[in-house]
């Protein structure tokens, strides 16, 4: 038996926020992560609050920055010229293609996978996460602290600058063990790494692995990840220099 016992489809953000005041209700976006997770968990009864009727699916460009509605699907994002080549490429590297039609930007940020190359790309594009209550936080803070169940309504990025990604993985199509994503800015470079900490992190391009203690797993030891991260960082920065 599934633990999902009810489905709500609010038509305003206030209605959604009101529904989410009940502790047994969860936000449903694309459903690629949360539906399998809740179906596998038979310990409680949960209700889903679907965000798809809230109009959070627009991509808008204003004053040199681009705002991605939280419900923008990765497939749509990956081909939108306003987000730039690097982010489009990174979105195409996430998930199988059929699931990219479902998965959303908001769900990706809220899930905060430590292996997500798209999150690394959003970090180096200065992503600011906007919430239903009108507040906004830099993405690195949201990754470190979580979104606390608050509805993410949009992610705002600076799409400018050249970008590059360097990866190592078990196969070219597999999720990278470690990835380095670099972007050139008017002040220099920004660099983010996957697979070296409990979240994707932005690092100092001049000392990319300083202070890092990557977790070990079956795909790579801590020492291996550290040494690969140093090499990939150097290559990624060189590629955008």
Ligand X SMILES: Cc1cc2nc3c(=O)[nH]c(=O)nc-3n(C[C@H](O)[C@H](O)[C@H](O)COP(=O)(O)OP(=O)(O)OC[C@H]3O[C@@H](n4cnc5c(N)ncnc54)[C@H](O)[C@@H]3O)c2cc1C
Q: How far is the CB of 68 from ligand X (least distance, A)?
A: 11
Q: Is 130 in the site for ligand X (CB under 6 A)?
A: no
Tell whether residue 29 is a contact of ligand X (CB under 6 A). Answer: yes
| Span interacting with ligand X, options 1-9, 95-103, 185-193, 197-205, rule CB under 6 A | 95-103
Report the Cα 84 to chain-centroid distance in Å. 16
Print the binding letters for residues 160-199 with ligand X: x by CB under 6 A, - otherwise: ---------------x------------------------
Measured in degrees and rounded to the nearest 5, phi and psi for residue 67 equal: -105, 125
Min CB(221)–ligand X separation in Å: 22
Q: Which stretch binds ligand X (CB under 6 A): 27-35, 134-142, 187-195, 228-236?
A: 27-35
Count of residues near ligand X by CB under 6 A: 28
List all residues 6 or more positions away from 196 whose beta carbon is below 8 Å from its beta carbon.
Answer: 178, 209, 212, 214, 225, 226, 229
Least distance (Å) between residue 158 CB and ligand X:
21
Which span sits near ligand X by CB under 6 A: 23-31, 188-196, 209-217, 232-240?
23-31
Q: Which is nearer to ligand X, 69 or 161 (CB)?
A: 69
Q: Should residue 143 be labelled a site residue for ligand X when binding is judged by CB under 6 A? A: no
What is the DSSP track for 10-51?
Answer: -SSHHHHHHHTTSTTEEEESS-TTHHHHHHH--SS-EEEEE-
Chain centre distance of CA 128: 12
Contact 72/58 with Cβ under 8 angstroms? yes
Query: What is the distance between the alpha carbons of residues 230 and 80, in angstroms, rounded to a whole number?
Result: 32
Q: Which of 166, 207, 200 is nearest to 183 (CA)?
A: 166
Interface residues toward ligand X, by CB under 6 A: 26-34, 36, 51, 70, 94-95, 102-104, 106-108, 110-111, 113, 116, 147, 151-152, 175
């Amino acid at each position: 038996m599934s633990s999902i016992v009810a489905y709500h489809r609010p038509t305003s953000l206030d209605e959604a926020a009101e529904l989410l005041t009940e502790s047994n209700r969860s936000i449903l976006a694309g459903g690629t992560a949360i539906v399998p997770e809740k179906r596998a968990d038979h310990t409680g009864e949960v209700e889903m609050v679907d965000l798809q009727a809230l109009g959070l699916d627009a991509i808008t460009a204003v004053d040199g920055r681009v705002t991605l509605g939280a419900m923008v699907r990765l497939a749509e994002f990956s081909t939108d010229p306003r987000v730039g080549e690097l982010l489009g490429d990174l979105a195409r590297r996430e998930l199988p293609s059929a699931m990219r039609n479902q998965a959303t930007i908001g769900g990706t940020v809220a899930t905060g996978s430590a292996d997500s190359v798209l999150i690394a790309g959003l970090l180096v594009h200065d992503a600011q996460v906007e919430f239903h209550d009108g507040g906004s936080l830099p993405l690195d803070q949201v990754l470190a602290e979580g979104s606390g169940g608050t509805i993410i309504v949009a992610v705002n990025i600076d799409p400018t600058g050249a970008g590059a990604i360097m990866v190592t993985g078990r196969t070219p199509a597999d999720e990278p063990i470690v990835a380095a994503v670099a972007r050139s800015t008017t002040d220099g470079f920004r660099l983010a790494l996957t697979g070296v900490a409990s979240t994707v992190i932005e690092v100092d391009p001049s000392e990319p692995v300083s202070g890092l203690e990557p977790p070990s797993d079956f795909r790579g030891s801590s020492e291996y990840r550290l040494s690969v991260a140093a090499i990939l960082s150097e290559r990624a920065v060189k590629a955008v220099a």
